[in-house]
Amino acid sequence: MATNIMPKNARNRDAALFNANNQFGGNFMTDRALSYIAYAHLGMIAIGGAARYYLGLVGLLPLAYATNALVVVAVVLWLVISIGCLRIQKFEFVMIVSLTLSFGVAVCSNGKIMAVVFGVYLFTPFMLGVFSSRELLERLIDDSRFMLAIWVITLIGISWDKITAVPWSGFAFDVGNVQVAGSRDWSFEGVRRVAGFARSSFDASGFLLVSAICILSRNRKSSLFWILWLFTGIGIGMTTSKGMLLAYALNSVVWLWMRTKARTWLAMLPIAVVLVLITMPMLPLITQFELIRPGDISSSVFGSFFVRLVYTWPEAWELLFKAGNFISGAGVGSIGTPLMLFDPNSYNSADNVFVYGVFIFGIAWLPFLVGFSIRAASNAKYVGVSPLSTLCFQMSLAVLVYGITTNVVELGPMSLVFGALSRRYFSTDRVHYSYSNNVLGLSERSSI
């Protein structure tokens, strides 16, 4: 006789789905342990600038990397246990094989072993998100107090840094022969980019948006809803992170739109964004742009975007065709921070998640991003109905929008979320549910 996995009075669609998923093969305790490690890592990233500064003053700077080491150990142990117990899932297997092949391509194409190893290390937060996806996404909704604490700390740090530079702003330390920024202090268009307690304005703005979405996905009817969302926008505005401001604007549209019944139109947003994400950095390949001196574009509101269009992306493609090709890429560690540390003369940040992924995985990254956006769009019909679907849709929108001008994978909070969402969308080990009308009145699909 079939076991009834649904509670008699199921009022929480997401809890029912989560419990059922764990009953059908999920290792709840392993996922929970990984989610706690993910939380510890997020907490350290949120105060990363301040933590490195004060730990450095007392000679304990290595402790700032304790959670990074924990993430690496957790990912390796999870792999060993999962492979040993033969319980690794298809998407996880595909990601591991893809990274292994990328490792081989990188070693053959450039031979910079340290850059390649560091590139793999940068993917560990993404993989932690993949491995802890089941528990992490549920916990991000349920643990409102933790996410509220992150939100408050981040907003206070940004405000403090905006009023007067925090003591750790511009702090740097040496790793071997390379100087590493403990907290970035830089300006663009004459405007200082504030990071608060974090290491960069990117991390700070990302934390504000991610924590706000987590809090509000389950508390949409709270009287403080629009107050918290308004201050989130003000905080992101103080960081002057234009990519995150665009993500905030589109998510604001979603919050307003979900109060209507026209949710189907929301499904167009992720697909439209991914088309822009892929098309914009490809323009330099088909259109000859006239070189523009930085001084000529500094007065533009979107000056940093034009710097990417005129300089960053064309140089990235040139680097790709020199080190590899569009089909197989150039391998892990061939773009971004690994180059900055181990081959500074070739450094290019990519500043686009499509460009970054093509370097690492080649043309296979294209269907991955398109599939990600389509799976995200499938959540649109449940936005405002299911807290988990609301969270996934808005987080996906934030990842894709911010991915237009950043590589996402090297940004701690966004990388974790990106990995967790990818595992949820592409997983094939889920049970397809068909609930009765008196319980939920809908059929659950694998991508919801």
- Comparing 85-99, 127-141, 171-185, 390-404, the range with the smallest average pLDDT is 171-185
Quick one: DSSP state of residue 430? P
The pLDDT of residue 39 is above 50: yes
How much is the pLDDT for 128? 93
Rounded to an integer, the average pLDDT of 36-56 is: 90
- At residue 420, does pLDDT exceed 90? yes
Closest of 116, 209, 192, 267 to residue 411, by C-alpha? 209
b/e 302-338 (16+ beta carbons within 10 angstroms → b): ebbbbbbbbbbbbbbbebbeebbeeebbbbbbbbbbb
pLDDT digits (tens, 9 = 90+) for 123-163: 999 999 999 888 888 888 887 888 999 999 999 999 999 99
Q: What is the pLDDT of residues 294-327, one digit of tens each?
A: 555 444 556 677 788 888 999 999 999 998 899 9
pLDDT at residue 176 greater than cutoff 70: no
Confidence band of 192 (pLDDT split at 50, 70, 90): confident
Question: Span 196-223, mean pLDDT?
Answer: 86
How much of the chain exceeds pLDDT 70, in percent?
81
Going by pLDDT thresholds of 50, 70 and 90, the confidence category of residue 234 is very high
Three-state DSSP class for residue 361 = helix
Mean pLDDT of 263-284: 90
Pairing relation of β-strands 186-188 and 191-193? antiparallel
Which residues, in sequence order, are CB contacts of 220 under 8 Å at separation 6+? 255, 258, 384, 390
Which of 26-40, 149-163, 278-292, 325-339 is predicted least confidently? 26-40
- The CA distance from 150 to 51, in Å, is 15
Please state the pTM of the whole predicted model.
Answer: 0.85
Residues 6+ apart with CB under 8 A from 22: 28, 31, 134
What contacts 216, CB < 8 A, 6 or more positions away? Answer: 222, 225, 228, 229, 255
- Residue entry with tokens 């921070």: 337
